[in-house]
Chain A
């Protein structure tokens, strides 16, 4: 019992919020803080005609974030020479996109195929972690990037390389797809009740419930496991 420390009021007085995952102060790690207050590769003015090879925009009304991304790609080597972005997003969205932009453009630029393999978790690792409920916001950069790369492939006529994430209808009555369930899990829903609250899923189609539960487990594992 002697090892349990008393609450040190003086320290509390100074204390900022402690990140429960990294133990660092403030809501976010020092790296997140740095990228939030000094975001890299922002595009502050509107792009000029032909300045970039592709533009993509994504956003989720439910979380309140939105992002536009621009890419400049070396057509010979397929390396990403430039990635610029703008966001209407929270601290995590700003910091993770900033970090993502650094990751794919450092060392002369990453090959497109390599960059597409980056997972949100890889960005989070470089950021020294994010609180669980902010993971949703960090996925935004990933989505914007995939959309912009597809745009690039379309622009250069390589429709064969466009990857579409096939969404499958799970709840036939309300037309709700596995992607919608993924969204709900990212927004913090952890079980069928919480997902139902967000999507009203399974209410009109009770037969879909076992599959929905399986999807929830899958996405929880994927993002929080």
Chain B
């Protein structure tokens, strides 16, 4: 029996990792740049100088937060573009002087902006290695270290994962690469650049690039209560990348095109506010998240949480404070998503049926969960406006929906024996299971 409760009047948005609303203070900061200070920063007259002043101030603000120089910030049109510029740009720069070779290392749980950039580079003759992660999603450092080759030119590891929230050991990798690079330069081997995709981390974690030890860092506005299609790449002085977009030579020739002045102002203000408020907000979100996890655990049977569990003792932050990822066994994620939607609750799933490629979440598979766990994986990401009342409302409907969907499901998994899934008799194409095994490993 489905919960006989009216849909929530308030939209309960629990998908802040997908995108966030625009903080009203950010909106206010952007306001004058639409129709008052609308000049082109490249123009010499007053209107142009006003605009240039705005982008310069924004650049300085971001540089202060990152503890870098303002001219090390390249504004782009979003996180994916920053990542593409870092990875494709660094590889193609290297290609200018090296007709063959070039090896790039990344992790198995990166965002598609990274993975598909690497696919593109493979077609250009580069080789790539994706490092496995452990059951909580932490990159295997030993494997990373043993994968380095003489022609390795770039390591790209995300700061925090978008699906399960795992915070990767960027500091450790940065420090280790720094020592390794000293040796490599002495050995006349190419320096290995280090890039991190910080799009999910920017609102919650420290962004000091000197401490992180990165050469490049990508971040964007749309995950931190800033405007969409805004982003930046931190590019350490001396690191050269080939541009993706050619034209008027803006952003030191690295990103041509008239600057999105309002967007740049909004991005800087959003990052400033997020970093200013993050300690207090992180604490609040962690408490709310742990409460939500306890509620799910006590009211929904047969579930498995994905990613590190901070309810257990830990000495440092292991995952993003707002992220919950749970595999609800025996049910399919999209069906649950649609039911929750009918109660005005928004969240996302790792189910194949909601992805454009019809492939289940590569992150859930990479942490060693079977296909069925990925198809039933649900991601809730809390935000600044999420309250305990919202969580309580979700908990009044979630158990009933799960129960109903389980009643119509022929699957009955035993979480103690995860290998006993994917009933063989259910496979239609005989060759599919061979293919399936390959896929799980890759």
**Partner-B contacts on A (CB < 8 A):** 27, 36-37, 39, 42, 44, 57-68, 86-94, 133-134, 136-137, 143, 167, 174-177, 179-180, 183, 187-188, 199-200
B342 to chain A: closest residue by CB? A37
B113 to chain A, nearest CB (A): 18
Q: Are A91 and B335 in contact (CB under 8 A)?
A: yes
21 A-B pairs (CB sep. < 8 Å)? A36-B338, A37-B342, A39-B408, A42-B407, A44-B408, A57-B410, A59-B426, A59-B427, A60-B428, A61-B433, A62-B352, A62-B436, A64-B372, A86-B409, A87-B410, A91-B335, A134-B353, A177-B430, A177-B431, A183-B428, A187-B357
The proximity string for B residues 346-368 relative to A, scoring 1 for CB distances below 8 Å and 0 otherwise, is 00000111101111100000000
Q: Which of B56-64, B95-103, B255-263, B326-334 contacts A (4 or more CB under 8 A)?
A: B326-334
Query: Within B351-402, which residues are at the interface with A (CB < 8 Å)?
Result: 351-354, 356-360, 371-372, 374-375
For A94, what are the chain B residues with a Cβ–Cβ distance below 8 Å?
A: 335, 408
B351, B357, B435: which contacts A90 (Cβ < 8 A)? B351
Residues of B close to A36: CB separation below 8 A = 335, 338
B423 at the interface (CB under 8 A from A): yes
A61 touches B332 (CB 8 A): no
Q: How far is the CA of A129 from the CA of B436 in the complex (A)?
A: 30
Q: Is the CB of A183 within 8 A of B353?
A: no
Knowing A42-B408, A44-B408, A64-B360 are in contact, say whether A175-B431 is a contact too (CB < 8 A): yes
- Are B423 and A63 within 8 A (Cβ)? no
For A88, the chain B residues whose CB sits under 8 A away are: 330-332, 372, 375, 409-411
Please report the C-alpha to C-alpha distance between residue A67 and residue B427 in the assembled complex, in whole angstroms: 11
A179 & B428 in contact (Cβ 8 Å cutoff): yes
User: Which of A57, A58, A89, A93 is the most central at the interface, judged by chain B CB atoms within 10 Å of its CB?
Assistant: A89
What B residues does A57 contact at CB under 8 A?
410, 423, 425-426
Interface centre among A63, A86, A167, A174 (most CB of B within 10 A): A63
Do A59 and B428 touch (CB < 8 A)? yes
User: Contacts A61-B371, A61-B422, A65-B332; is A90 near B410 (CB within 8 Å)?
Assistant: no
State whether B428 touches A143 (Cβ < 8 A). Answer: yes
Please give the distance in Å from B427's CB to the nearest CB on chain A.
Answer: 7
Instruction: List the A side residues contacting B247 at CB < 8 Å.
Output: none
With both beta carbons as reference points, the residue of chain A lying nearest to B360 in the complex is identified as: A64
CA separation between A94 and B409, bound complex, in Å? 10
Q: Does B313 contact A (CB under 8 A)?
A: no
Q: Indicate the member of A36, A60, A94, A167 with the most B CB atoms within 10 Å.
A: A60
| Chain B count of residues within 8 A CB distance of the other chain | 43
Contacts of B353 in A (CB 8 A): 63-65, 90-92, 134, 137
State whether the Cβ of B429 lies closer than 8 Å to any Cβ in chain A. Answer: yes
Contact (A133, B356) CB under 8 Å given A61-B427, A183-B429? yes
B432: interface (CB < 8 Å): yes
Q: Are B334 and A62 in contact, with the CB atoms below 8 A?
A: no
Structural contact, B334 and A90, CB atoms closer than 8 A: yes
Set of chain A residues within 8 Å of B428, measured between Cβ atoms: 58-60, 143, 179, 183
Partner of B407, one of A27, A44, A93: A44
- Residues of chain B within 8 A of A62, CB atoms compared: 352, 358-359, 371, 432, 436, 439
A61 touches B431 (CB 8 A): no
Compute how far the CA of A93 lies from the CA of B10 in the bound complex, rounded to whole angstroms.
30
Task: Give min CB distance, B189 to chain A, whole Å.
Answer: 32
Let me know if A91 and B338 touch, CB within 8 A.
yes
* A180:B410 contact, CB within 8 angstroms: no
Most buried by A among B342, B428, B436: B428
Residues of B within 8 A of A167 (CB): 429-430
Output the least CB separation between B417 and chain A (Å).
17
Q: How far is the CB of B364 from chain A (nearest CB, A)?
A: 11
Find A64's partner among B375, B407, B425, B439 (CB 8 Å cutoff). B375
**B372 to chain A: which residues have CB within 8 Å?**
64, 88
Please, which residue of chain B has its CB at the minimum distance from the CB of A134? B353
A66 to chain B: which residues have CB within 8 Å? 410-411, 423, 426
Residues in A whose Cβ lies below 8 Å from that of B436? 61-62
Which B residues lie within 8 Å of A177 (CB)?
429-431
A174 smallest CB distance to B (angstroms): 8
User: Of A58, A89, A134, A187, which contacts B335 at CB under 8 A?
Assistant: A89
12 additional contacts (CB under 8 A) given A86-B410, A89-B332, A200-B435: A27-B338, A36-B338, A57-B410, A60-B429, A61-B436, A64-B374, A65-B332, A68-B410, A90-B335, A92-B353, A94-B335, A188-B357
- Residues from chain B with Cβ under 8 Å of A61 in the complex: 371, 422, 427, 432-433, 436
Check A59–B334 contact: CB distance below 8 A: no
Contacts of B331 in A (CB 8 A): 88
Least Cβ distance of A180 to chain B in Å? 5
* B334 CB to nearest A CB, Å: 4
Chain B residues closer than 8 Å to A174, beta-carbon distance? 431
Chain B's nearest CB lies how many Å from the CB of A137?
A: 6
**Is B335 within 8 A of A179, CB to CB?**
no
Q: With A and B bound together, what is the CA distance between A94 and B338 in angstroms?
A: 12
Q: Pick the residue among B354, B356, B410, B433 that contacts A188 (CB under 8 A).
A: B356
CA distance A136 to B359 in the complex (A): 12
Least CB distance from A15 to B in Å reads 13
Q: Write the chain A residue with the least CB distance to B357.
A: A188
Residues of A within 8 A of B435 (CB): 180, 199-200
Chain B residues with CB below 8 A from A58, complex form = 426, 428
Taking A86-B409, A90-B332, A134-B353 as contacts, is the C-beta distance between A63 and B358 under 8 angstroms? yes
